[in-house]
Amino acid sequence: MTSVAAPLTPLIERITDFLAQRRIAVAGVSSKRELPGNLIYRKLKSTGYAVVAIHPTASSFDGDVCYPDLASAPGDIDGLVIATNPTLTVELVRQAADAHIPRVWMHESLIHGGTSVSPEAVALCRERGITLIGGACPMMYCAPVDVGHRCMCWLMRATGGLPE
């Protein structure tokens, strides 16, 4: 089987395309503690996106149905935000590929070096033709952007910390 590499387009084009979608899944929500996935889910929902919560053991999140995996979520999903431990990222990318989800955003935070980026998952995205944003945070680009995320974006840009 021949693999098709995902095109390497400039970061801002991939971000614009990702945020132009309407139905986005977020893996990494938790009702037990406040995690980046929770904040991303709420931000996307508050700005008009149809969001789908993914967590292997939760049945709901913020009053919405939570699905154990991408295969369980009904309907087409346009993009997946992964805000989990990087050891889980490759399995989520496999699920995204199987569900024909064409876009994946692996969250990365400046705080405590938190990242969902996994080299194996990045390679799998390229192999399966999935458009990838491998780092940064959707909240740095999803308008209206709060001051904290504007500062993070500036700092990451200034230090070369944004993904390619």
- Residue 164 within any structural domain of the chain: no
Residue 84's CATH number = 3.40.50.720
Task: Specify the pTM.
Answer: 0.90
Among candidates 56, 140, 60, 136, which has minimal Cα distance to 92? 56
- Residue 4 within any structural domain of the chain: no
- Residue 58 within any structural domain of the chain: yes
- Residue 1 within any structural domain of the chain: no
* 84: containing domain: 11-159
- Residue 140 within any structural domain of the chain: yes
> Is pLDDT above 90 for 2?
no
List, as one string, the DSSP characters of 105-144: EE-B-SGGG-B---HHHHHHHHHHT-EEEESS-GGGTSSS
- Residue 71 within any structural domain of the chain: yes
- Residue 148 within any structural domain of the chain: yes
User: pLDDT for 95-139, tens place per residue?
Assistant: 999 999 999 999 998 665 689 999 999 999 999 999 999 999 999
- Residue 5 within any structural domain of the chain: no
> What is the count of structural domains for the chain?
1
